[in-house]
Amino acid sequence: MKLVSGNSNIELSQDIAKYLGIDLVKATIKKFPDKEIFVEIHENVRGEDVFVVQSTSFPANDHLMELLITIDALKRGSSKSIAAIMPYYGYARQDRKSGPRSPISAKLVANLISIAGANRALMVDLHAGQIQGFFDIPTDNLFAAPVFIDDIKKKFESKNTVIVSPDVGGVVRARAIAKRVDCDLAIIDKRREKASVSEVMNVIGEVAKKNCILIDDICDTAGTLTNAANALKNKNAKSVYAYITHGVLSDPAIERINNSPIDKMIITDSILARNDVKKSSKIEQLSIAPLIGEAIGRITENKSVSSLFA
């Protein structure tokens, strides 16, 4: 087994390698002066099962090209198999035609990864589960829920806690966690007027004098999240916490979170945290390296990955 890291999140790759008890493959991934990406693998990978760890986060296009070119380099180096490990799958929100003559970019990216030479793909908390079907190669969608559940159980008492979905689309995810931590469920009913802008309309469920935990897969500009937190506080919630898998946190997300009634926002390290994220007193990070490392080990040993979430 070999583990190669792109430049998107070297810290996570190093933690995964540490969990597996191996070293990262020595490789050069750099840009020429005209911003073309160059990849060179400095170790023999002939006949090896190779796992490439690369989140396609900001800058998404650069990191996606790094992944594709690395896969091509490994294929030409006669690797036995190549698995694309994408803790965060960029373009996942473009999973359907949103209007006439609009693309399905999530499908296009899946095609690119397969054609580049990947034999398997693995992601964490896909924005839409059907994206697995966009791939014509074996694809695993890992869930960050076990990591969140362990942390919630340590910090909160179930009888005074309610799990909240910030929109109707996230109810399935929130309900699954609520069931595991034995908590009630609430839903924020919102109306989105246009992209990246949301208006909270109503809170469905009893949240007064309770610790409310918002569950979502992606936080981009934090508009939905902070509006949901305000709605919960208006309903006399005791406290508001948020557990988010992918902290995209584009501007002005950090400012909004710091000025919001959210007591603490917990994100995973699927995306490398910027300095302003690390400095925020309201944001803390949980590692998914053991989760991904365990999945990689099971794939290598031909064991069940789905049993991780049974």
Structure-block tokens of residue 243: 């557990």
CA distance 220 to 222: 6
Among residues 249, 244, 253, 224, which one has the least CA distance to residue 288? 244
Please identify which of the residues 2, 107, 190, 210 carries the catalytic annotation: 190
Contact 242, 213 (CB under 8 A): yes
Give the 3-state secondary structure of residue 112.
helix
Position 112, amino acid: L
Residues in the chain: 310
C-alpha distance across the termini of the chain, in Å: 26
Note if 278 is an active site residue: no
For residue 292, the cross-strand partners are none
The residue type at 111:
N
Separate counts of helices (H) and strands (E) for the chain: 9, 14
Sequential DSSP letters for 20-53: HT-PBPPEEEEE-TT--EEEEE-S--TT-EEEEE
Query: Regarding beta strands 81-86 and 161-165, do their DSSP bridges make them parallel or antiparallel, or are they unpaired?
Result: unpaired
> What is the SS3 assignment for 244?
strand
The one-character DSSP state at 230 is: H
Q: Is 62:56 a contact under the CB 8 Å cutoff?
A: no
Cis, peptide link before residue 59, omega less than 30° from 0: yes
- Residues annotated as catalytic are 190
